[in-house]
């Protein structure tokens, strides 16, 4: 068993060097014993609907995913706020599992909750409202119906405005406050929704790794935020991995 967790690459076109890096993660997963791949949202800066436009734009990724699926690697794609309504292509054609809400997995003896993380901040009512609109059937229908070039140009605008919605409340705070929000969210959902040993999220672009002890059972609990793939020259890039060697970060 080897599970890899990747999120928030924000690949913004075929020329983006992060695309090649992502492809190399997929390629190495064909031969290194990877059994589970978790794409935890915002892999692409824009992928809306099941339009052939995006399939062709990122054909090498599509083909690598097909190869992984042929080798029975389980691929779980959590939609982010930049990759939306991807169900038809990614689930029906590519045979991946697509999630739009937090979900739980049993892996390597651990109960793991995975989520993109865009519902993490309950105070961000503006974004949560926008999220509701973006996920309606009407927007899904538009995404599958409009020509790809139109989607791309609407998407560019939406992407900018969604970034405004999501990042302006966060930018005003410092990194420590974002980490607090991640950890508070982990404690809150563990108490109010369902227990887990490990929570893996993304979205906030701040890499975090925090452990604590459950007050009642005394068991160890861990919250991991995957951070993001900063453009070249930025911070180092990490993915998270669970296998026989443990639960660890891998620097790319
Ligand atoms: Mn996001």
Pairing of strands 207-213, 36-39: unpaired
Ligand 1 centre from 219 Cα, in Å?
Answer: 30
pLDDT for res 165: 45
| Helix locations, the chain, DSSP H | 17-29, 52-57, 59-70, 87, 125-134, 137-145, 148-171, 175-192
What is the length of the chain? Answer: 252
pLDDT for res 126: 78
Give residues whose Cβ lies within 5 Å of ion ligand 1. Answer: 42, 80-81, 203
Give, as one character, the DSSP assignment of residue 11.
B
Ligand 1 centre from 155 Cα, in Å?
Answer: 14
Give percent above pLDDT 70 in the chain.
94
CA distance 186 to 159: 27
- The reported pTM is 0.91
- Residue at token pair 């995913």: 65
Q: How many CB atoms lie within 10 A of CB 230?
A: 14
- Per residue in 154-192, pLDDT (tens digit) is 777 766 665 654 444 445 457 889 999 999 999 999 999
CA distance 9 to 146: 26
Q: Which of 133, 195, 191 is nearest to 162 (CA)?
A: 133
Average pLDDT over residues 43-47: 92
pLDDT for res 64: 98
Q: For residue 14, give Cα distances in angstroms to 54, 172, 233.
A: 10, 32, 19
Ligand 1 centre from 151 Cα, in Å?
Answer: 19
pLDDT for res 147: 81
Token representation of residue 242: 């669970």
* Domains in the chain, CATH or no CATH each: 3-251 (3.60.21.10)
Mean model confidence pLDDT for the chain = 90
Token representation of residue 172: 């005003």
Ligand 1 centre from 162 Cα, in Å?
Answer: 9
Q: How many CB atoms lie within 10 A of CB 150?
A: 13
Q: Apex CA 227: angle with CA 232 and CA 69, to 5°?
A: 90
Ligand 1 centre from 44 Cα, in Å?
Answer: 10
Question: Residue 25 pLDDT > 60, yes or no?
Answer: yes
Confidence of residue 203 (pLDDT cuts 50, 70, 90): very high
Ligand 1 centre from 141 Cα, in Å?
Answer: 22
CA distance 141 to 103: 25
Token representation of residue 125: 């009512």
């Amino acid at each position: 068993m080897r599970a890899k967790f990747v999120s928030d690459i924000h690949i913004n076109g075929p020329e983006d060097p992060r695309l090649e890096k992502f492809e190399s993660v997929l390629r190495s997963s064909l031969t290194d014993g990877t059994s589970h791949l978790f794409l935890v949202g915002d892999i692409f800066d824009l992928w809306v609907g099941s339009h052939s436009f995006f399939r062709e734009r990122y054909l090498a990724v599509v083909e690598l995913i097909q190869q992984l699926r042929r080798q029975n690697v389980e691929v779980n794609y959590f939609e982010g706020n930049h990759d939306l309504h991807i169900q038809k292509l990614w689930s029906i054609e590519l045979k991946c599992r697509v999630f739009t809400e937090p979900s739980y997995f049993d892996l390597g003896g651990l109960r793991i909750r995975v989520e993109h993380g865009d519902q993490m901040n309950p105070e961000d009512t503006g974004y949560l409202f926008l999220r509701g609109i973006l996920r309606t059937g009407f927007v899904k229908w538009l995404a599958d119906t409009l020509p790809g070039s139109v989607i791309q140009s609407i998407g560019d605008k939406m992407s900018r405005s969604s970034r405004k919605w999501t990042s302006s409340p966060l930018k005003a705070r410092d990194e420590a406050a974002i980490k607090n929000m991640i950890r508070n969210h982990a404690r809150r959902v563990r108490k109010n929704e369902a227990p887990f040993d490990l929570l893996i999220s993304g979205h906030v672009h701040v890499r975090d790794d925090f452990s604590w002890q459950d007050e009642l059972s005394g068991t160890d609990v861990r919250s991991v935020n995957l951070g993001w793939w900063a453009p070249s020259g930025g911070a180092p890039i990490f993915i998270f991995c669970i296998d026989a060697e443990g639960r660890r970060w891998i620097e790319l």
